[in-house]
A and B are shown apart, each in its own frame.
Chain A
Amino acid sequence: MPPRLSFPPLSARIGQPTSVLSAGRSYATANYAPPNPAMAQYAPTQPPSHRAADSRKTQLHRTYLSLLRSTPLMLVFQHNNLKATEWTALRRELLMALSKLSGKGEVDEVASGIRVHVLRGAVFSAAMRVAEYYDPNGGKQHGTSEEAYEQTKKRVKHPLAPLFAGPVGVVVFPVFSPTHLKTVMDVMFPEGRAVKGMDPAAVSGLQKLVLLAARVDGHVATGKLGGGRVLDGSMVRWASGLPGFERLRGQLVGMLQSVGGAELVRALEAIPLGVVRTVDAHRKVLSGELEGEGEKKEEA
């Protein structure tokens, strides 16, 4: 590897005064290995990006991609000229309404994961194309790679694509929970009048919010990566009117018992019980073996 600093040949240097400093420099040059130019383009903690890694758009693209991959439910809304005070009031009301869902002292993981984001539409729709078309097509590289860009840059028509023009935001849920969805819908997109007792700033803010659509599923956890489905406003309202999962399960069990499916319920219950017994038995066997081994070692 050639040295980075060009030195005149030794013959030219003979007779010239030398100093301690120059000796030190030559020592440093000998040990210095310039970084691989391909590696130097990006921060060591981040994979190489097709675009400039330190630009805001690239970082937003990464953020949106991780949002799209990690959320099972995303409400898309339009915000028409909300003032900063109205945003803060609305967020405060939302936090308060969500905190009422759980008892005092309990930490509601779902509620704490609900976020309201205001989007850069074009960057978001680019990220959505990667999430919907690159990932399921066996995307080997990461979302900001050149390969991802090349595969998704053609305008594939996504049903949500026309939405991401103008002032658009999303509400992101960490899991699908009808009770939480209903709370968010009541606070931010009420049908008719707003909830009584709300901050007037929040009320004037929510008048300017318009629910457009929702994106459901398509995240990693369910194995439906890229399989996002699109709901319109009325379907979101219908989904928010569903009772919670606990009540739905209770209804199902009740219905089965009344119809005469008690045996089915028992059979379904028997499976987890059987698993617990088997695992417990296996644990006992394992611990017994381990004790036996310990004794043998002591004897040896």
Chain B
Amino acid sequence: MITRYLASAKISFDPFSRGGKTARIFAALLPPDARATGMKVATVVLDRQRRAAAAPAPAGVVELVFKDGRELRLDTTRMSVADVVEEVDRHSRGLARREELAG
């Protein structure tokens, strides 16, 4: 996954639900020096009871902000990790091409 163009990532998931798995594993795809290189990473563990009370709340959400300001919010409950990576890379590749042409 291309993580160079990510400015911030907020990952919230319910650990006890299968739907939360994708968001949780997405958190493990960020590189080890993500925080050191200025990316803002926030991981939120959703409360089991509270999520059950608010019934339609998704089990996993990935909220990303790219360096060009574009925001991406994905409900990952029914997505696979590969799907999420594809969504993120689609915009990152565009940014990479633009950077390459500019400099």
Contacts and interface: CB of A to CB of B under 8 A. Distances in A.
Given A165-B21, A210-B27, A211-B45, A204 B36 contact: yes
Contacts, number: 55
A229 B27 CA distance: 27
Interface residues of A, number: 24
Interface string B10-48: 000001111011001101101110011000010101011
A81 B16 contact: no
B46 to A, nearest CB: 9
A144 to B, nearest CB: 27
A163 B16 contact: yes
Contacts of A212: 15, 45
Contact of A210 (B17, B18, B36, B45): B45
Nearest to A165: B21
A80 B36 CA distance: 14
Contacts of A162: 15-18, 20-21
A224 interface: no
B84 to A, nearest CB: 13
Interface string A203-220: 010011011110000000
A160 B16 CA distance: 7
Contacts of A211: 45
A215 B27 CA distance: 23
Interface string A233-253: 110000000000000000000
A82 interface: yes
Nearest to B32: A81
9 contacts: A80-B30, A81-B28, A81-B32, A162-B17, A167-B28, A210-B24, A210-B45, A232-B16, A232-B48
Given A166-B25, A210-B45, A211-B45, 15 more contacts: A78-B27, A78-B28, A80-B28, A81-B28, A162-B18, A163-B15, A165-B21, A166-B24, A166-B28, A204-B36, A210-B43, A213-B16, A232-B15, A232-B45, A233-B45
